[in-house]
Amino acid sequence: MLAATLALTVSFLLAQTRTAKTLDIYFVDTEGGQATLVVSPSGESAIVDTGNPGGRDTDRIMAAVSDAGLTRIDYVVLTHYHGDHVGGLPELVKRIPIRHFIDHGPTVEKEQVAGFQVAYADLYSKASHTVVEPGDKVPIAGLDWLIVSAAGQVLDKPLPGAGIQNPSCASFKPREPRDTSHDENAQSTGSLITFGRFRMIDLGDLLWNNEFDLMCPSNRIGTVDLYLTSHHGLELSGSDVLVHGLQPRVAIMNNGTRKGGTVQALQILHRSPRLEDLWQLHWSYHGRVELNAPGLFIANIDDPAALATVLAAPPASPPAANAAHTPAYWLKVSAQQNGTFAVTNSRNGFSKTYTARN
């Protein structure tokens, strides 16, 4: 197991100097992919996925790295090998040292990024590499980072304090195909990150049926404070059994204007029994006025003229995609050990604090 390979004492010694008392998490805009930078109060860091190839998303990641004051990234956690999740890795390693690579094992699909597996093997041969399974931990000092899904498998027993019956399971309807052994989404490496009383979950693009395996008939996770929406808010993921079982206080959606943010995903989120706020990396043309979060909670708004047209007379289908916008804004979470956390929108400076609950 990963936890056995690296002692926490070593992690403390290697941690970068940092005075912050919060766990800081940057949700970087990759236009509907993923790049989530996690910085522990100890100074250790991890990034979950690296966005798309081409350098654009790498520039955005490095802006967050600079804001966090990092000189290296300790861990790269790859959820799965689709281009919007791993495409930026070859460029990222040119920009900043990376100590350790974590993944679910070899791809089960034809590569979306040509030659990635060979290039990736060369990268981790020069650092450290671990293939994880559910129950393993990423040994970042000050955090309890638990792998809850990997390679098509999920936790096989409830965590302490979890295990209650999930009422949403009774109405669950499976999605086809049931055999997802050759689907990289179903292989997603999912993480439950705990800092004191604060809990966040990121399941990558784990699929609808896999969510049932994790949450039914009993909820093996319990509740969380923060849920990064699975699969960018596409209809292939984000089921009631997952979202309503987790009962997040806050959801952050890493969608693009036209990727993710679907009506079904937004409706399930808005019905979630404990949800206080939804934050989005982008305005979603699918959600229109009724289902998108208020503007204060959206990091990136599309071209004002195009958006005004949609608001005045919604088209039958979303407008054609525009070139990626500049600048791109992130959402940042700063969590305290007592469970209180704040979310900040870098576009407008708006921040909201969620006080710890008993």
Instruction: Please state the domain count of the chain.
Output: 1
Lowest mean pLDDT across 3-7, 110-114, 117-121, 338-342? 3-7
The span from the CA of 101 to the CA of 124, in Å, is 6
With respect to residue 140, please indicate whether it lies within any of the assigned structural domains.
Answer: yes
User: Please, is 259 exposed, middle or buried when counting C-beta atoms within 10 Å of its C-beta (0-12, 13-18, 19+)?
Assistant: buried
Q: Does 10 have pLDDT greater than 50? A: no
pLDDT at 325: 75
Residues 250, 279 contacting (CB under 8 angstroms): yes
Residue 2 resides in a domain: no
Quick one: pLDDT at residue 236?
A: 95
Per-residue pLDDT at 315 exceeds 80: no
Q: Choose from 16-30, 131-145, 323-337 the range with maximum mean pLDDT.
A: 131-145
The CATH number of whichever domain residue 183 belongs to comes to 3.60.15.10
pLDDT at 20: 67
Q: Around Cβ 117, how many Cβ atoms within 10 Å?
A: 14
Q: What is the pLDDT of residues 52-85, one digit of tens each?
A: 999 999 999 999 999 999 999 999 999 999 999 9
Q: What pLDDT, on a 0 to 100 scale, did the predictor assign at position 303?
A: 63
- On whether the CB atoms of residues 53 and 83 are closer than 8 A, the answer is yes
pLDDT in tens, 184-212: 999 999 999 999 999 999 999 999 999 99
User: What is the C-alpha to C-alpha distance for residues 283 and 122, in angstroms, rounded to an integer?
Assistant: 38
Domain range for 46:
18-353
Instruction: Give residue 91's pLDDT.
Output: 97
Q: On the CB side of 68, how many CA atoms lie within 13 Å of its CA?
A: 35
Q: Where are the alpha helices (DSSP H) in 87-154?
A: 89-95, 116-125
CA 126 to chain CA centroid, Å, is: 26
Residue 13 lies in a domain: no
Residue 6 vs residue 113, higher pLDDT:
113
Q: Express each pLDDT in 249-278 by its tens digit.
A: 999 999 999 999 999 999 999 999 999 999
Q: What is the Cα–Cα distance from 245 to 162, expressed in whole angstroms?
A: 11
Look at residue 77 and tell me if it is in a domain: yes
Q: Give yes or no for residue 322 having a pLDDT over 60.
A: no
Is residue 233 situated within a structural domain?
yes
Q: Is residue 8 part of a domain?
A: no
What is the number of other CB atoms lying within 10 angstroms of the CB of residue 58? 27
7 within some domain: no
Quote the radius of gyration of the chain (alpha carbons, Å): 19
Residue 11 lies in a domain: no
